[in-house]
Amino acid sequence: MTKKVTDSISSYRLFEGITNLSTSSIWEEAKKEWRLDHVEMAEDHEVAENKYVCLCGHPHLKELCFIINDFNGNETMVGNHCVKNFMGNIKSDPLFQAIRQKKLNKALIDYAREHRMITDREYSFLLDVFRKRKRSSKQSAWYESLKGKILLTVGGKI
């Protein structure tokens, strides 16, 4: 099959899967029912074992996006590519980039705050220092501690 035909089939499977789990059967309305709950990075062995398959049928997923329907409580998992296609306002790439690089960025710091992984005080501190090249020893120690806490928490689930 050509890439265009495969993409079309995948898009239809995603459309069908999402609308079946939504209260509305109209695609434009069904899309609005969903929000990103959390993202996870699959382990290499899970990818190799094909543990995660997107609603669109794409196998061997590494970047997992778990979404919730606010109207009926249904939950499902889709790949990062598909979540961006049907939930255009989702900025999941910077989250996965930070996890892969084991670094903090603004997106991951915001995510950590929204998901109550860090306090408001820790959030303010991280925003103040995460781009600084020179930190005091106390700042560095606290920064590394918070970075470890966030990355450990998001290692499986973010």
41, 62 in Cβ contact below 8 A?
Answer: yes
Q: Which residues contact 138 (CB under 8 A, 6 or more apart)?
A: none
Instruction: Give percent of the chain with pLDDT exceeding 70.
Output: 93
Q: Which of 30, 63, 23, 70 shows the shortest CA–CA distance to 154?
A: 63
* Stated pTM of the model: 0.82
Query: What string of DSSP letters covers 71-100?
Result: TT--EEEEEHHHHHHHSTT---HHHHHHHH
- pLDDT at res. 154: 82
- pLDDT at res. 10: 82
- pLDDT at res. 88: 77
- pLDDT at res. 87: 84
The segments of the chain whose pLDDT lies below 70 read 1-7, 155-158
